[in-house]
């Protein structure tokens, strides 16, 4: 493993920053303290900053020996999750109901370490933009930064992202061309019937039976309408209706999520869901209101950039530690919005099995969005080295 010596030397200091951020988690668009920490560190290393894109976003600009040449963007997310931490170690969350359970504290730390190294060495031509993004967890901070002018104010030729991945060994990476994360979409179906006594169902219109039949019928989209080789998931996660054993209610509600790897499949799923909802409710004499929200598009890596990232990673950790056939996740990531605007690539860095956690960790596994999770600080010099080498080599490569 080839790590930047200077970054290895800074690891205790960067780890302290990471754990401080972990202890003070902030939710989407509330990352004021976190953004203050990021801004203060960048400015102390001589990096000019811009604040306020996407409400709390921070962008640092690092010019090389000359400003001529290409520009690259490196992105980390900063927000935490609205959940209670189960850990009790020293750097556990001090904010009840808020936790860095997805490792965004670690992502921020790795990019800070890389920014410091690039600013101190500047052994490249062109420009590196370090992007510290708010609100990845469901509220689209990437899109908010783009809408506020991220790529206009800071014109760059490509943009890259990275996420820690529990279960993958430390020292390994996953990268694949094409889809690596799915789209994230939600639906809400409101069914209106006619309430009646449970002993006299013929006098009413039963929305409960409509909900049951609809829940089953929607799954036929995945099994009968979709190409079996093109993944899609329809998960009904909520059904709410009724208040008493002997009352047929007036209304029923279904909610859930849809995940796909392509916009074409998503179009198919949404259209069929609407049609099945309309026809099923009409057949059972109910009124229906169908709402479908497209939240995050699929995260699709560009072929050339994925190959370039794999090459850089192999030089750092060896070919055997870079998985280019890793199975994509049906989870979602709002870095997808950036990849729809610019060429780029999103990679996974192995976070291990959880044995890095110190005494006081929760009883659960070290998985993303779990109350017992903690970022593995051994990743800091590795992830930061990758960012540095990616920026250097990409800026030195021929124009795409």
Say how far apart CA 324 and CA 332 lie, in whole Å. 19
Q: Which of 65-69, 185-189, 343-347 has the lowest mean pLDDT?
A: 65-69
The DSSP string of 296-324 is: E--EEE-HHHHHHHHHHHHHHH-GGGEET
For the segment 57-69, the average pLDDT, to the nearest whole number, is 95
Is residue 373 domain-shared with residue 387, that is, in the same domain?
A: yes
For the segment 57-82, the average pLDDT, to the nearest whole number, is 96
Where in the sequence is the domain holding 157, given as residue range(s)?
A: 5-180+298-396
Band (109; pLDDT cuts 50, 70, 90): very high
For residue 200, with 0-12 CB atoms within 10 Å meaning exposed, 13-18 middle and 19 or more buried, which class applies? Answer: exposed
Say whether pLDDT at 130 is over 70: yes
Tell me: the pLDDT tens digits for 203-259? 999 999 999 999 999 999 999 999 999 999 999 999 999 999 999 999 999 999 999
- Among 296, 326, 350, the domain-final residue is 296
Is residue 201 domain-shared with residue 92, that is, in the same domain?
A: no
Find the CATH number of the domain harbouring 233. 3.30.70.360
- Output the six-digit token pair for 136: 């990845």
Tell me: the pLDDT tens digits for 340-390? 999 999 999 999 999 999 999 999 999 999 999 999 999 999 999 999 999
Say whether pLDDT at 18 is over 80: yes
Contacts of 250 (CB under 8 A, 6+ apart): 192, 193, 194, 195, 207
Hey, how many other C-beta atoms are within 10 angstroms of the C-beta on 4? 21
- Output the six-digit token pair for 161: 């992202």
Beta strands in 91-147 (DSSP E): 127-133
Band (164; pLDDT cuts 50, 70, 90): very high
Do residues 256 and 145 lie in contact, with contact meaning Cβ atoms separated by under 8 Å? Answer: no
Is residue 248 domain-shared with residue 137, that is, in the same domain?
A: no
Is residue 32 domain-shared with residue 173, that is, in the same domain?
A: yes
Say how far apart CA 263 and CA 268 lie, in whole Å. 9
Secondary structure of residue 143 in the 3-state scheme: helix
Is residue 21 domain-shared with residue 114, that is, in the same domain?
A: yes
- Residues shown for the chain: 400
Instruction: Check residue 400 and give its pLDDT.
Output: 61
Is residue 15 domain-shared with residue 113, that is, in the same domain?
A: yes
Element (DSSP H or E) covering residue 217:
helix 207-218
Secondary structure of residue 277 in the 3-state scheme: helix
Instruction: Check residue 399 and give its pLDDT.
Output: 73
Secondary structure of residue 394 in the 3-state scheme: helix
Is residue 163 domain-shared with residue 303, that is, in the same domain?
A: yes
Instruction: Check residue 68 and give its pLDDT.
Output: 87
Find the CATH number of the domain harbouring 158. 3.40.630.10
Is residue 9 domain-shared with residue 141, that is, in the same domain?
A: yes
Instruction: Check residue 141 and give its pLDDT.
Output: 98
Hey, how many other C-beta atoms are within 10 angstroms of the C-beta on 229? 5
pTM over 0.85: yes
Is residue 44 domain-shared with residue 150, that is, in the same domain?
A: yes
Is residue 197 domain-shared with residue 95, that is, in the same domain?
A: no
Say how far apart CA 162 and CA 175 lie, in whole Å. 10
Hey, how many other C-beta atoms are within 10 angstroms of the C-beta on 142? 30
Say whether pLDDT at 304 is over 70: yes
Instruction: Check residue 265 and give its pLDDT.
Output: 96
**Beta bridge mates, 270:** none
Is residue 46 domain-shared with residue 171, that is, in the same domain?
A: yes
- Among 296, 316, 345, the domain-final residue is 296
- Among 296, 321, 337, the domain-final residue is 296
Contacts of 202 (CB under 8 A, 6+ apart): none
Structurally, the chain folds into a number of domains equal to 2
Cα of first residue to Cα of last residue in the chain, in angstroms, is: 28
Q: Give the rounded percent of residues in the chain with a pLDDT score beyond 70.
A: 100
Is residue 222 domain-shared with residue 324, that is, in the same domain?
A: no
Secondary structure of residue 263 in the 3-state scheme: helix
Band (396; pLDDT cuts 50, 70, 90): very high
């Amino acid at each position: 493993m080839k790590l930047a010596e200077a970054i290895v030397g800074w690891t205790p200091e960067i780890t302290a920053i990471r754990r401080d951020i972990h202890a003070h988690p902030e939710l989407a668009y509330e990352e004021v303290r976190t953004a203050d920490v990021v801004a203060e560190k960048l400015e102390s290393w001589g990096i000019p900053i811009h604040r306020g894109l996407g409400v709390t976003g921070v962008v640092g600009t690092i010019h090389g020996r000359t400003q001529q040449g290409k520009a690259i963007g490196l992105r980390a997310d900063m927000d935490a999750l609205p959940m209670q931490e189960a850990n009790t170690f020293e750097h556990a969350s001090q904010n009840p109901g808020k936790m860095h359970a997805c490792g965004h504290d670690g992502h921020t730390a790795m990019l800070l370490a890389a920014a410091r190294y690039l600013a101190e060495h500047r052994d490249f031509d062109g420009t590196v933009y370090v992007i510290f993004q708010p609100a990845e967890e469901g509220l689209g901070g990437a899109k908010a930064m783009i809408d506020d002018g991220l790529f206009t104010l800071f014109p760059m030729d490509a943009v890259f992202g990275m996420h820690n991945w529990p279960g993958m060994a430390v020292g390994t990476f996953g990268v694949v061309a094409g889809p690596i994360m799915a789209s994230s979409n939600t639906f809400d179906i409101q069914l209106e019937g006619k309430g009646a006594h449970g002993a006299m169902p013929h006098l009413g219109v039963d929305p409960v039976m409509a909900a049951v039949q609809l829940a089953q019928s929607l799954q036929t989209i995945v099994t009968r309408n979709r190409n079996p080789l093109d993944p899609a998931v329809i998960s009904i996660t909520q059904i709410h209706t009724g208040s008493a054993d002997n009352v047929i209610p007036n209304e029923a509600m279904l909610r859930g999520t849809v995940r796909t790897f392509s916009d074409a499949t998503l179009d198919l799923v949404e259209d069929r869901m609407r049609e099945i909802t309309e026809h099923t409710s009409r057949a059972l004499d109910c009124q229906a209101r169908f709402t479908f929200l497209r939240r995050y598009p699929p995260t699709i890596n560009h072929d050339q950039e994925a190959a370039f990232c794999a090459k850089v990673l192999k030089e750092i950790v060896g070919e055997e530690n870079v998985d280019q056939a890793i199975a994509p996740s049906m989870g979602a990531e709002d870095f997808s919005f950036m990849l729809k605007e610019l060429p780029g690539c999103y990679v996974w860095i192995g976070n291990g099995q959880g044995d890095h956690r110190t005494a006081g960790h929760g009883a659960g596994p070290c998985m993303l969005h779990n109350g017992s999770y903690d970022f593995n600080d051994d990743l800091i010099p590795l992830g930061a080295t990758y960012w540095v080498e990616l920026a250097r080599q990409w800026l030195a490569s021929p124009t795409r």
